[in-house]
Amino acid sequence: MQTLLVQSCSKSKREPSEPVPALELYSGYYYKIIKKAKREDDFDPNIDICILSAKHGLIDSDTNLSFYDKKMDSGRALEIRDEVKEALKSRLHAHTYDEVLINMGQPYREAIRGIEEEIDTPVHVIEGKLGERGRKLKQRIRQSAPSSVGAD
């Protein structure tokens, strides 16, 4: 099953001297889970990752970025909503995905609010508090995880 994981950026970031791929820049909790699965060669190859950045909008995980400090709030989410939703729809038209998996807090979810009604691809949101969402993310992205684990 082909999945598009839409992961929010994180406040915690490296401060590299030159631009690095987004996946390397972010160092928050969920990124540690993703990077560990990749390091251990256990990341499900049927999952593509894109990142919702408070500064850059929807980007590929390999987009080169420099350090920045911008927080997502309701105003910023509203400001970039149309652009982000169009970018997500473009990705879904360019690639065939069986599902979209969303892992982000409420301020970020405001930037994609209503997307479920605008696309045909099923959308699953990883719900819960930080630790619970981390556990669910880990189960979804690892090849060795049971396949019956859902987002909810």
User: β-pairing, 123-125 with 99-103?
Assistant: parallel
Q: What is the pTM (predicted TM-score) of this model?
A: 0.91
Label residue 149 by pLDDT band (50, 70, 90): very low
Helix, strand, coil percent values for the chain (each to nearest 5): 40, 20, 40
Structure confidence at residue 151 as a pLDDT band (50, 70, 90): low
Distance from C-alpha of 6 to C-alpha of 104, rounded to nearest angstrom: 8
Q: Note the pLDDT of residue 144.
A: 77
The pLDDT of residue 145:
67
| Alpha helices, H only, 3-142 | 22-25, 29-39, 74-94, 106-109, 115-118, 130-141
Nearest-CA neighbor of 108 among 91, 85, 140? 85
How many other C-beta atoms are found inside a 10 Å radius of the C-beta of residue 33? 19
Domains by residue range for the chain, with CATH:
3-141 (3.40.50.10630)
Residues in the chain: 152
